[in-house]
């Protein structure tokens, strides 16, 4: 049973591998822990793959309740986009088989299946019902994996010709008229595409904020509206995402701190926060804060204050502007606060710094 409140995750997991090839069958999908709990009461499940953060009942609560009530002996695999050791500890406490960070790779799923198969004493009986066979056949028919994988490869290599060629082939097969995907095919294919696109970003930088990237993808693919399914829209988005990945590679290789340092040197007076940079560079804000402390030995806010005060010090020496005006120009709207910050960093008041040329006492 797959459990996740994001439809594209459910669809992505269900088509990421050929489950039957590994002697498995997806018998249920649930959008929250409570739905999954109700199914566990009536269904014979060997493996539950569940997200942690869901409405109504979380994945951890589902695992805990199932164990405490002796409801199911199913093996649980917990998925999370948050690398939080406390989650892992709780999952281990309630005998979770594994704890995986999203987005999950095909290899990770196969490893989990092998673990379950090795642990199972008796094989799970029963085959597909006629209804399940019909659903599986329709889903398999609706998924154009070769074309989608070609699009993804094109995006990964920033190859516009490969992207457009595979998009054209996809629309000719699914849409028929080559202009718009049918609603059902759009659903199945877009969920697989989103699942794989998120993977591309995370593979480049594991510190990336997956929620921010998901918002970016959602704004382009998951929104409703006919225009979202057009061939031109998909080509435009694929090209933009390829550019984004290329930019991300550059950011990772050069170092995001270097880019932020350059930007702060110019925009130091603006009301800018660590979260703003985290969103701009698709990096988790907590992780970015840790990078700042490691690189500069201070927090982002302390670093910003240092830049502003250094700029103010230069202005004090080179201009005759009033101290209150300089405070405003470097980003402080409270002159007293500016003076206090100046003293803590330069060791003297702005007036004394200006008088002595550099703040040092004359002998």
Query: What is the arithmetic mean of pLDDT over 86-114?
Result: 79
Token look-up 């992780």 returns 287
pLDDT confidence of residue 278: 83
Same domain, 258 and 322: yes
pLDDT the model gives residue 82? 57
- Which token pair is 348? 């003297």
Last residue of a domain, one of 69, 86, 120: 120
Q: Is the peptide bond between 267 and the residue preceding it cis, with omega within 30 degrees of 0?
A: no
The verdict on residue 286 lying in a domain is yes
Assess if residue 127 is contained within a domain. no
Task: Compute φ and ψ for 335, nearest 5 degrees.
Answer: -65, -40
Model confidence at 55, pLDDT cuts 50, 70, 90, reads confident
Please tell me whether residues 154 and 115 are part of one structural domain.
no
**Which of 249, 278, 293 is where one domain is finished?**
249
Residue 239, in any domain of the structure: yes
Report d(CA 90, CA 109) in Å as an integer.
Answer: 21
In terms of residue numbers, what domain contains 62? 2-120
Q: So what's the pLDDT on residue 19?
A: 87
197: Cα within 13 Å, side-chain hemisphere = 31
Q: Is 228 within a domain?
A: yes
The pLDDT of 182-189, averaged and rounded, is: 63
State yes or no: pLDDT of 137 exceeds 50: no
- pLDDT digit string, tens, across residues 138-185: 444 467 888 888 998 898 888 889 999 988 888 777 655 444 555 666
Q: Give the pLDDT confidence score for residue 277 in this predicted structure.
A: 87
| 223 pLDDT higher than 50 | no
Reported as a pLDDT band with limits 50, 70 and 90, residue 192 is confident
Same domain, 152 and 93: no
| Number of domains within the chain | 3
- pTM value is 0.51
Q: Which residue has the tokens 């439809």?
A: 7
**DSSP H helical segments within the chain, as ranges?**
7-16, 33-42, 59-68, 85-93, 106-119, 130-142, 145-156, 160-174, 183-204, 210-217, 231-254, 256-267, 274-280, 285-296, 300-318, 323-329, 335-346, 350-356
Predicted confidence (pLDDT) per residue in 116-132, tens digit: 888 775 454 444 445 44
Verify that 115 and 192 share a domain, yes or no.
Answer: no
Please report whether residue 132 resides in a domain. no
Domain holding 24: CATH number? Answer: 3.40.50.2300
The tokens 């398999």 sit on which residue? 140
User: Per-residue pLDDT tens for 281-329?
Assistant: 777 777 778 778 888 889 999 999 999 999 999 999 999 999 999 999 9
- Residues 244, 267: one domain? no
3-state secondary structure of 125: coil
């Amino acid at each position: 049973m797959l459990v996740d409140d994001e439809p594209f995750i459910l669809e992505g997991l269900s088509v990421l591998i050929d489950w039957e090839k590994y002697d498995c069958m997806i018998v249920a999908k649930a959008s929250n822990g409570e739905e999954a709990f109700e199914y566990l009461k009536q269904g014979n499940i060997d493996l539950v793959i569940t997200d942690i953060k869901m409405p109504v009942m979380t994945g951890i609560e589902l695992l805990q309740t199932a164990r405490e009530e002796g409801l199911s002996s199913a093996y649980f695999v917990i998925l999370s986009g948050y690398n939080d050791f406390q989650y892992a500890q709780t999952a281990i406490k309630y005998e979770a088989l594994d704890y995986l960070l999203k987005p999950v790779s095909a290899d990770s799923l196969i490893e989990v299946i092998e673990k379950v198969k090795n642990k199972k004493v008796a094989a799970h009986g029963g085959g597909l019902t006629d209804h399940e066979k019909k659903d599986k056949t329709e889903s398999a028919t609706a998924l154009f994996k070769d074309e989608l994988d070609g699009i993804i490869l094109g995006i990964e290599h920033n190859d516009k010709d490969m992207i457009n060629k595979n998009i054209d082939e996809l629309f000719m097969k699914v849409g028929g008229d080559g202009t718009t995907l049918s609603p059902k095919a759009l659903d199945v294919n877009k969920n697989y595409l989103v699942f794989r696109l998120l993977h591309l970003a995370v593979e480049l930088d594991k510190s990336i904020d997956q929620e921010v990237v998901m918002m970016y993808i959602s704004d382009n693919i998951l929104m409703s509206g006919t225009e979202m399914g057009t061939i031109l829209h998909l080509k435009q988005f694929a090209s933009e995402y390829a550019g984004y990945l290329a930019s991300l590679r550059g950011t990772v290789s050069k170092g995001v701190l270097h880019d932020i340092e350059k930007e702060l040197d110019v925009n130091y007076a603006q009301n800018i926060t660590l979260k703003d940079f985290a969103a701009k560079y698709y990096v988790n804000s907590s992780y970015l804060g840790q990078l700042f402390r490691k690189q500069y030995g201070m927090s982002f806010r302390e670093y910003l204050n240092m830049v502003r005060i250094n700029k103010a010090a230069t202005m004090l020496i080179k201009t005759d502007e009033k101290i209150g005006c300089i405070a405003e120009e470097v980003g402080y709207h409270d002159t007293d606060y500016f003076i206090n910050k100046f003293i803590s960093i330069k060791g003297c008041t702005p007036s004394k710094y200006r008088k002595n040329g550099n703040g040092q006492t004359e002998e």
